[in-house]
Structure 1
């Protein structure tokens, strides 16, 4: 095991996650820092609110791609014979989580990033596309019913480890299950203010077919 290759991969994964797509895209094409408007968050949801559906979709896809690409770096390590086949799943988790941390604490914008949901989705897509697809469906269904992005994100994040525990799509490793709950905890922590607003009944709602309510 070449420690330098592994460290380089982890740093690369973190830097990929650190790409502040919402901020850079907003500044480059609109001359707007999304952190100064809407919820003040540097993520896809606030980009939708501030810059519209097209910009929000582009930022969302970039954030998902960040997590997916970082996680797939484990396959490159295997190709270079840095790690063994049995180690690939573990390094997918390590590298994917490094990207999520990068999104939460991006080095390029003073460590103040988004909430990591889209980047986490990209990581899950790279690890288990089937489970990730179900999480997307759950997210969309909850959003259609409630119009709360935060609630949809939290429920979808909780569904991920629960599907692993229940073994709906086959037996999952203990490490992956533990990681799933860790990821859910991260989503809850980054959505603390949203949870308070949900409980108080003043959380912002979105309308997929029109303007924000």
Structure 2
């Protein structure tokens, strides 16, 4: 029963629509009506500005982290990745936002932070480097998702200090999330091909 309750809590944590709530409470805007219509970090930055964007990013990240840590906090002998995955599902299908959720990037990162902080910062370094090169959050998110999945297989073999052993549940979840992230970015991929994708205001290919 405790497991079921905590899995439900993980879903509700993931379902917190940070972008929607921040927009409505502090800006009197529903970000689903602006820009891409997405409730995540990138659209929040674009519509509500940097301070709101950083707050939403932190909230979306930490709800994944907290959910992943639930079995550790309550001493449940269950792989914490299950709770992180449920939080990501909550983020993508949030009960508090008519099941219209985000693209899973920040909350998935939060899951990694809760599961293995060293692996999270390793992945974050890759994300930041690629973002600096491309100046595109969408392309960076896709490449990072693929990179993380491959790293779960290769790191235990070549760099065990970061990921000491294979966890095939981690690999499977990262693979599935990568597929989902690529799918959710299908419109971005088309814009990248056309050279019309939105760019951030820093990096080697920043917007003018």
TM-score for both structures, normalised by structure 2: 0.91
Is the counterpart of residue 7 in structure 1 residue 4 in structure 2?
yes
The answer for the alignment partner of 2:140 in structure 1 is 152
Q: Is the counterpart of residue 115 in structure 1 residue 103 in structure 2? A: yes
- Separation (CA, whole Å) in 2 of partners of 1:116 and 1:177: 16
Runs of 4+ displaced beyond 4 Å: none
SS in 1 for 2:192: helix
Instruction: Kindly indicate whether the alpha-carbon contact (under 8 Å) linking 1:49 and 1:212 is maintained by their aligned counterparts in 2.
Output: no
From 164, 170, 181, give the equivalent of 2:175.
181
Post-superposition shift, 1:113?
Answer: 1.0
Query: Which residue of structure 1 aligns with residue 190 of structure 2?
Result: 196
Contact 1:18/1:107 (CA < 8 Å) preserved in 2? yes
Q: Structure 1 CA distance, aligned partners of 2:53 and 2:45?
A: 4
1:32 & 1:153 partners in 2: Cα distance? Answer: 26
Structure 2 alignment gaps of length 5 or more: none
Q: C-alpha root-mean-square deviation of aligned residues, in Å?
A: 1.6
Task: Give me the whole-angstrom Cα distance separating, in 1, the residues matched to 2:207 and 2:16.
Answer: 27
Distance 1:140 1:100 in 2: 22
Match of 2:116 in 1: 128
2:30 equivalent to 1:33 = yes
In structure 2, C-alpha distance between the alignment counterparts of 1:114 and 1:180, rounded to whole Å: 17
Task: Give the stretch that moved more between structures: 39-48 or 193-202.
Answer: 193-202
2:47 pairs with 1:59:
no
Give the alignment's TM-score, normalised by structure 1: 0.89
- Contact 1:6 / 1:77 at 8 angstroms: preserved in 2? no
Equivalent pairs counted in the alignment come to: 200
Structure 1: gaps (5+ residues): none
| Equivalent in the alignment of 1:24 | 21
Shift of 1:139: 1.2
Match of 1:106 among 65, 90, 94: 94
Shift of 1:76: 2.8
Which of the numbers 42, 56, 59 marks the counterpart of 2:39? 42
1:212–1:52 Cα change, 3 Å:
farther
Q: Which has the higher mean CA deviation after the structures are superposed, 65-74 or 130-139?
A: 130-139
**Cα contact 2:85–2:173 (8 A) shared by 1:** no
- 1:75 Cα deviation from its structure 2 partner: 0.8
Asked if the contact 1:106/1:113 (under 8 Å) is kept, the reply is: yes
